[in-house]
Structures are given as C-alpha cells and as structure tokens.
Amino acid sequence: MDDRTYFAIGDLLANMTVGAIIGVVSWLIVGNTWNMLLSMVLMSVLGMALALALPLALLFVSVYGAMEVLVPVMVTGMISGMVVGMWITVQNLSFLEALLIGLACGVFSILVIWVVNSRMKGIQELD
C-alpha cells in the first residue's frame, strides 16, 4: 500500500469502481443456464480485457499512476468477472448484488496486491 493517502484512496476507488462495473457487465452477459466453468473462464478473460479498455481506467491512470493503476484494475476485472460469472450460474443475482460483489472483488484485489507488493518491493538480491 502506498503510504500517501492520496494514492491509497485512489487505488481503492479505482478498483472498487472497475470491480463494480465488471460485476454489472457480467450480470448483463451471463445467464443462469450457462456452464459454470465456461462462465468463469470467459468472464475472467473478458473482465480483464474490459478493465483495460474502460475509458474510466485511463482516467484513473491520469490521476493516480500508470502501472500502479492498470495492473490492479486488470486483476480486479479478472476476479470480478470470474466470481460474478460463476455466482450467476448457481444463484440468481439482482443488479445490486452483482454490483456489490464486483465492488467487494475490487477491494479484495487491491488488498492482495498491496500485500504482494509489500513482499516484492525493495532492493533485490542479485544472481
């Protein structure tokens, strides 16, 4: 996690927003008669691609940073698409539920990336 509040809030905001949008997109695309595995795979790929293609993602990049925004929102898109896509095949979801699940996926993704980043960053031991 960036120790500057501006970027920490920006990371959360970007991933919550993209997660919610991809959750809703998945809700619009996937039907409850779909095969669960197919839905998970398709929506994770589509979610990742859409997260990159959303003009909103570029707006967040211009305000909060390049790789630090693009990579997490792609992870969020992948997870949000996969989770909501899977969920719909086993249980009917309302629009609001899909949006909230997507939003939660965004929070989860950025938290995981903050943890992974804290372990990876810093001076590396050279081979």
Minimal distance in Å, beta carbon 55 to other proteins?
12
In contact, 113 and 72? CB cutoff 8 Å: yes
Binding mask 43-82 for other proteins (x = CB under 8 A): -----xx--x-----x-xxxxxxxxxxxx--xx--x----
CA distance 92 to 94: 7
Site for other proteins in 94-113 (CB under 8 A): 113
> Within 13 A of 127's CA, how many CA atoms are on the CB side?
0
Minimal distance in Å, beta carbon 7 to other proteins?
6
If residue 38 lies in a helix (H) or strand (E), which one and from where to where? helix 36-53
Closer residue to other proteins, CB minimum distance, 30 or 48 = 48
For 32-67, b/e burial (b = at least 16 CB within 10 A) is eebeeeebbebbbebbbebbeebeebeebbeebbee
Closer residue to other proteins, CB minimum distance, 39 or 109 = 109
CA distance 116 to 71: 13
Minimal distance in Å, beta carbon 92 to other proteins?
30
5 contributes a contact to other proteins by CB under 8 A: no
Binding site for other proteins (CB under 8 A): 2, 6-7, 10, 48-49, 52, 58, 60-71, 74-75, 78, 113, 116-117, 120-124, 126
